[in-house]
Structure 1
């Protein structure tokens, strides 16, 4: 062997790192010799998938379509311009509820989704007891619609009801807006399916005090550049999904003077400061609509194989792709693998739920874990796992977002623009880090961990793209 550089020599002087795919004979042999091995769950595409893949790869529109989609994502902006009630911002009427993920009915809804809907019914005064709320929901006395269908996103169960207040963000480059509810904090909260008295009381305070106060402060301040805060928080150890500590504090710093000058009673301002400052996840609900704006800009490009949404409702996992319009491609949601609170364990966990995977779809969250190695203390694993996750995601992405730089990777941009063809061809699925909701309605959060989408979402999307591709000459 000829050494062509000093780097080659260093490779021979350190322990090897081995990744294996396919049958386990090689991996087992290396492991028996105490060699660290990463086993990849890879299988060659089926004949049908191979035919679809070849047809899509041969589509003459694909390269330019993906360049267009990526450029739209990278050129998007995200300005926080208002905070107002969902009834006003989204036109929701009594009995209308938005939820996370692809479309779902009450009959198929998971425990946390049902619990959150029960809580929303109580909060809106449409039922006096949980039992009454369940009966009314089972009887069809509520209209359910995915958040994504109205330009919104919601974490976990993602329930948005008319009286809830929402952040309103604008993409000035493309003239669009997106919305997200205010973050309640952790533990027993509506988005995790809890609906006890403390949950309803908190929601009422958020609508009566926090929402109006924030709305007044944002309008007094003027537009807040959320993308700029996201870029800074990545330099400070956040990844934008399950770690938002720096982002939350930067937002609070941005709005503190405006909250004080809003004329609100000093107690209300103090309560708002305590609530936001004590809720490290508060900024997540601004990262999500910022990502929604970026990806919505890339929708509807004929021939593009870029994923523009990944979302879960606790029963189904769904993706949407630029070149196939608003169609959902779904498969069964998986139970995350992670760390559990207290005495909870995997048997208490509900399958994956929430619109917050929009962060990974835009190159944050699990795709940016290298920027936030401390995240492993929340979702499990080792620091090396966080670095490896980001490196692995470059292989299924179309571009790098240099605005979102990862210091430990020599300021390389985060992997951005999930490509359906690369996912199917490599067998590598998008990495998502997430909270874990209890499967029984009313439980709340039971842990946090890592999860990937079901493979069939991508093979189905590939087949649809193949059907839309021009015929071979």
Structure 2
């Protein structure tokens, strides 16, 4: 049957719109029938159709709110302004209060690496002399636990913060809000991966007693450091801001090195500080994270906005917050990581996804900017072309593109910015996250790195809550 015959079947030319199955469109196109392809998928979260329909009726209001939320994120200018002590910087943080990564959780539900980091922090604060005593104290109810995000801070992996720890101070000078993060210990057997032995304790005390004073004195001479510019340069040099920070750390050390000989501190102290930073490619992860927190928090509280302003994991649950739903957490089970393992370890040794470092993806870095860092696949697995595909897929669920973080491999296109929880639910496309892998047993440390998908139910719950709040 010819195209003319088919047109005559209804007495007029066929006008075909195809939604979903490409096979139908392809068959008609081969027979000369013009086809308009519609990019449509059914809602992927069970029972979400009514929620999405209710929100669709409020599209104009939500769009205006999302424009405002993303605009504030674009305007945010995070600056590194100093170093301080956690107990003096963060609200209501005494020696018997410990902060952690991810949404709220109590001791009985904590995963192995988070438990290990808690034990290490208890010993570090001098509240116990050994792991056994520390464990009894942790389970006694005498300590308070709270998410870093609820105190203006972020913590990588277990993310445990105690009162005596040194913190970076980052200020979004555009809007005046601040964010804080601990110092990066390096990779391997470290507190944030749940290790807590004498080696870990010695390093923690060195960070507080020796490195922090060097950084504080250097920043006093250097003045506020523009982290947005530093991160943007690093993306041009092959970083993605989450698991590849080699360029950013090099740029940071380049800023500090000329100042170090001028500081009134012992030369051995200065030399060890410089050597530690130079040997720790991940050093500036703990600067990118508070920069991300200060950026995302600028959008928090935007009424009616469906933009995600926090993603975080505690090793048991994954949680998100929306700009338009206040301080509420929406959670699902933390994901199982697919990745590469250090010698002697395998999937059976791995804990579930953990850490506040997904604040980088929240502002368009990390897995969202993997196209800028094809070398990252040697650390987390996959192929260089997979890094490009990962970034391209994130545009489907984001409201805008970053005006600051640009990706050379995509003709300097801005990285995907402003995760829209509605689009995650509608398309089933989940935020792409790369991450380290902690041992499921406390005290061991890092066992690998890989890729992980967040749980869809967290985004579905947030979308439903937004619909309910908007009536």
Report the alpha carbon displacement of residue 305 of structure 1 after superposing the two structures with TM.
Answer: 0.4
Q: Paired residue for 1:52? A: 51
Q: Paired residue for 1:26? A: none
SS of match in other structure, 2:47: helix
Change (3 A) 1:187 1:58: same
Q: Paired residue for 1:90? A: 90
In 2, are the aligned partners of 1:312 and 1:352 still within 8 Å (CA)? yes
SS of match in other structure, 1:423: helix
Is residue 180 of structure 1 aligned with residue 181 of structure 2?
A: yes
How high is the TM-score relative to the length of structure 1?
0.90
**1:210-289 to 2 correspondences below 5 Å:** 210-289=211-290
**1:53-202 to 2 correspondences below 5 Å:** 53-59=52-58, 60-91=60-91, 92-202=93-203
Q: Paired residue for 1:347? A: 348
Q: Quick check: 368-377 or 397-406, which moved more?
A: 397-406
SS of match in other structure, 1:82: strand
Structure 1 unpaired stretches of 5+? 1-20, 23-41
SS of match in other structure, 2:392: helix
2-side partners of 1:97 and 1:216: how far apart?
A: 27
2-side partners of 1:71 and 1:367: how far apart?
A: 19
User: How many corresponding residue pairs?
Assistant: 433
Instruction: Name the Cα RMSD after superposition.
Output: 1.5
SS of match in other structure, 1:61: helix
Report the alpha carbon displacement of residue 260 of structure 1 after superposing the two structures with TM.
Answer: 2.3
Moved over 4 A (4+): none
2-side partners of 1:89 and 1:256: how far apart?
A: 27
How high is the TM-score relative to the length of structure 2?
0.90
Q: Paired residue for 1:11? A: none
Is residue 426 of structure 1 aligned with residue 427 of structure 2?
A: yes
2-side partners of 1:46 and 1:314: how far apart?
A: 23
In 2, are the aligned partners of 1:83 and 1:168 still within 8 Å (CA)? yes
Report the alpha carbon displacement of residue 468 of structure 1 after superposing the two structures with TM.
Answer: 1.6
Report the alpha carbon displacement of residue 259 of structure 1 after superposing the two structures with TM.
Answer: 2.6
2-side partners of 1:218 and 1:72: how far apart?
A: 27
In 1, are the aligned partners of 2:45 and 2:426 still within 8 Å (CA)? no
Q: Paired residue for 2:361? A: 360
Deviation per CA, 1:186-216: give whole Å up to 9, x if none. Answer: 0000000000110000001111000111011
Deviation per CA, 1:77-121: give whole Å up to 9, x if none. Answer: 111000111112115211111110000100100000000000001
Change (3 A) 1:340 1:46: closer
Report the alpha carbon displacement of residue 44 of structure 1 after superposing the two structures with TM.
Answer: 4.2
1-side partners of 2:426 and 2:111: how far apart?
A: 32
1-side partners of 2:273 and 2:365: how far apart?
A: 27
Report the alpha carbon displacement of residue 61 of structure 1 after superposing the two structures with TM.
Answer: 1.2
Deviation per CA, 1:16-66: give whole Å up to 9, x if none. Answer: xxxxx99xxxxxxxxxxxxxxxxxxx9743563010011112214101000
Deviation per CA, 1:409-431: give whole Å up to 9, x if none. Answer: 00000000000111111110000
SS of match in other structure, 2:393: helix
